[in-house]
Amino acid sequence: MKKVLKTPTEYSKIYDEIYGPFAEKEKYEVTTEYKGEIIDYIFSDIDFQYTTALRAFVKYHHDYTIASKMSKIDKKTLMKNYEIGRKRMFAPKHIASAINGYYDIRKKDQYVLTAEDFGGAKYVVTALNKSGIHTKEQLYKHLSNGWWYLWTIPGVGDGARQKILTAIDRWNERSL
């Protein structure tokens, strides 16, 4: 039996807020029901307290005070959980789920990431691969949205971010 969503319109609003700019950029159109299914799927991969904060904030018109009162969540907690939840929504694998083909790069020779790119740090490649980034082109595509998106890759901490930036620096030097 198929699970029926109770709030496809609410989830559609969340989809539009988070993934709308990506969909517009890629000329990607989906139905309200599909948006609801995708957000439900993505929410199943994110902790409950973060999804609750996202839902409350969007439902109560982007007002932390009202959302806090109506959801009975401390305002500071709601704000923190909303920011963390929003960041997790921008993980590459979630963007790829929301916008089919977003990271499909139509280039004949793609550069597959290796540990050597990151100074021998295999953990960086592992974190990138787990998040859905396997090639240099996909990494560039993710970061083309802004440098903030470097902080949305799960499993990538400060040390890994340094290694990624150093690798990008080296790649750019080679292309000059």
- Residue 175: is its pLDDT beyond 80? no
* Rounded CA separation 157/154 (Å): 8
- Residue 106: is its pLDDT beyond 80? no
* Rounded CA separation 33/36 (Å): 5
What's the rounded mean pLDDT across residues 113-121? 95
Q: Could you read off the pLDDT of 34-73 as tens digits, one per residue?
A: 999 999 999 999 999 999 999 999 988 888 899 899 989 9
For residue 49, the one-letter residue type is Q
What region does 119 belong to: left with phi over 0, alpha with psi -120 to 50, or beta? left
pLDDT of residue 1: 39
- Residue 26: is its pLDDT beyond 80? yes
**pTM of the full structure:** 0.87
Helix spans in 75-153 (H): 75-89, 92-98, 122-130, 136-143
Rg (CA), the chain: 18
**Which of 6-15, 43-52, 92-101, 134-143 shows the lowest per-residue confidence on average (mean pLDDT)?**
6-15
Torsion sign, CA atoms 71, 73, 75, 81: negative
Q: Could you read off the pLDDT of 77-99 as tens digits, one per residue?
A: 999 999 999 999 999 999 999 99
